[in-house]
């Protein structure tokens, strides 16, 4: 009887401890009895269950992260891109979550990953590469989060945020895009050079025209001023000549003598009776 009592007490202790369980802070629990949900949304604290009949599933209340593997998608212009994304999610409806996944978190991750993959494919198919990396990216993320959350509701999951971490082109596509960009930049550069040469030629022609006109006008003014100067000089010479023709002739002869005998080696072969020596002869006659 004593051994029976000890065995019964031990069994009672085991049953007592088997019937009690705790839910930690930051967790939420669900109790299933023989495959049917008995209790849900069990708050943190101490709870009881029927041993061997009830099974308890605990889930985190905190946000969970799912980083998807690198996937290849086609853009609107049929370009391949490699995409990495990350999803922030949490369990929102324990009943639906258990019915959809049997409480296995890995099943939930697999199903959620497929939802994100399908929604990413839809969003990338509607946009070009340029839109994906510039103006349309925020809109794409917003649509992606909303549609993924709608699809994940049947899993009892709430999608908080979806972010695209990386968008890259495959190597062969990168080379093709680089060559196309290089070709486009070369065309732009050639067009700018052509426009620059055309503008330069136009400005050069205009400058040449302006220079030609300026020089012609300067030559015209110079010719006019020379003509006016010569006319004025001729007028002065004429007036001077009319006042004393003899003195004027004498002055011109002196100028001729000065010019002819300016160098020591000059030699003149002339007739002594020529007009050139007129004033020499007169000087001899007038000398005492």
Report whether pLDDT(179) > 80: no
Beta-sheet pairing, 27-33 with 36-42:
antiparallel
54 and 71 share a domain? Answer: no
Report whether pLDDT(58) > 70: yes
pLDDT on residue 67: 87
Among 60, 79, 108, give the residue marking a domain's end.
60
* Any domain includes 178: no
Instruction: Compute how many other C-beta atoms are within 10 angstroms of the C-beta atom of residue 25.
Output: 8
Q: Which domain holds residue 250?
A: 245-286
CATH number (domain holding residue 94): 3.30.479.30
6 and 43 share a domain? Answer: yes
Two structure tokens written together for 109: 């991750």
Among 116, 144, 169, give the residue marking a domain's end.
169
* Any domain includes 275: yes
Comparing 7 with 117, which gets the higher pLDDT? 117
265 and 279 share a domain? Answer: yes
pTM over 0.85? The answer is: no
pLDDT digits (tens, 9 = 90+) for 59-97: 777 888 888 888 888 888 887 888 888 999 888 888 888
Instruction: Compute how many other C-beta atoms are within 10 angstroms of the C-beta atom of residue 275.
Output: 10
Q: How many residues does the chain have?
A: 288
* Any domain includes 176: no
Rounded Cα–Cα distance for residues 89 and 116 (Å): 12
29 and 95 share a domain? Answer: no
* Any domain includes 278: yes
68 and 120 share a domain? Answer: yes
104 and 126 share a domain? Answer: yes
26 and 69 share a domain? Answer: no
Question: Can you give the C-alpha Rg of the chain in angstroms?
Answer: 56
pLDDT on residue 1: 59
Identity of the highest mean pLDDT range in 40-49, 231-240, 243-252 = 231-240
> SS3 of 104, please?
coil
* Any domain includes 136: yes
70 and 153 share a domain? Answer: yes
40 and 15 share a domain? Answer: yes
* Any domain includes 161: yes
* Any domain includes 144: yes
78 and 165 share a domain? Answer: yes
Q: How confident is the model at residue 225 (pLDDT cuts 50, 70, 90)?
A: very high
pLDDT on residue 165: 83
| Burial of 18 from C-beta contacts in 10 A (0-12 / 13-18 / 19+) | middle
Rounded Cα–Cα distance for residues 251 and 257 (Å): 10
281 and 209 share a domain? Answer: no
What is the number of domains present in the chain? 4
Q: Encode 137-172: b = buried (16+ Cβ within 10 Å), e = exposed.
A: eeebbebbbebbbebbeebbbebeebebeebebeee
Two structure tokens written together for 160: 């908080």
Contacts of 95 (CB under 8 A, 6+ apart): 30, 37, 40, 156
84 and 154 share a domain? Answer: yes
Q: Encode 92-103: b = buried (16+ Cβ within 10 Å), e = exposed.
A: bbbeebbebbeb
Q: Where are the alpha helices (DSSP H) in the chain?
A: 2-19, 94-101, 105-125, 129-133, 137-152, 171-243, 245-260, 278-286
pLDDT digits (tens, 9 = 90+) for 259-271: 766 666 666 665 6
pLDDT digits (tens, 9 = 90+) for 29-45: 878 887 787 777 777 77
Among 117, 140, 169, give the residue marking a domain's end.
169
Q: Encode 196-235: b = buried (16+ Cβ within 10 Å), e = exposed.
A: eeeeeeeeeeeeeeeeeeeeeeeeeeeeeeeeeeeeeeee
């Amino acid at each position: 009887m004593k051994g029976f009592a000890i065995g019964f007490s031990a069994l009672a202790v085991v049953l007592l401890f088997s019937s009690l369980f705790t839910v930690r802070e930051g967790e939420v629990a669900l109790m299933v009895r023989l495959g049917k949900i008995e209790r849900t949304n069990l708050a943190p604290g101490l709870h009881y269950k029927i041993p061997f009949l009830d099974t308890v599933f605990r889930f985190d209340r905190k946000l969970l992260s799912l980083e998807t593997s690198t996937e290849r998608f086609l853009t609107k212009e049929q370009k391949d891109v490699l995409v990495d994304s990350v999803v922030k999610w949490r369990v929102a409806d324990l009943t639906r979550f258990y019915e959809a996944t049997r409480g296995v978190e890995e099943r939930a991750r697999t199903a959620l990953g497929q939802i994100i993959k399908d929604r990413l494919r839809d969003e990338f198919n509607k946009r070009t590469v340029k839109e994906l990396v510039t103006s349309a990216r925020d809109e794409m993320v917003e649509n992606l989060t909303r549609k993924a959350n709608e699809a994940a509701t049947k899993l009892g999951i709430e999608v908080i945020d979806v972010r695209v971490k990386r968008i890259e082109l495959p190597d062969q596509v990168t080379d093709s895009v680089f060559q196309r960009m290089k070709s486009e930049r070369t065309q732009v550069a050639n067009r700018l050079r052509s426009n620059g040469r055309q503008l330069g030629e136009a400005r050069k022609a205009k400058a040449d025209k302006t220079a030609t006109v300026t020089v012609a006008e300067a030559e015209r003014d110079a010719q006019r001023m020379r003509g006016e100067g010569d006319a004025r000089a001729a007028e002065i010479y004429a007036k001077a000549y009319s006042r004393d023709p003899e003195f004027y002739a004498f002055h011109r002869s002196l100028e001729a003598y000065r010019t002819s005998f300016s160098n020591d080696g000059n030699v003149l072969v002339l007739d002594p009776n020529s007009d050139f020596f007129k004033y020499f002869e007169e000087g001899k006659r007038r000398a005492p």
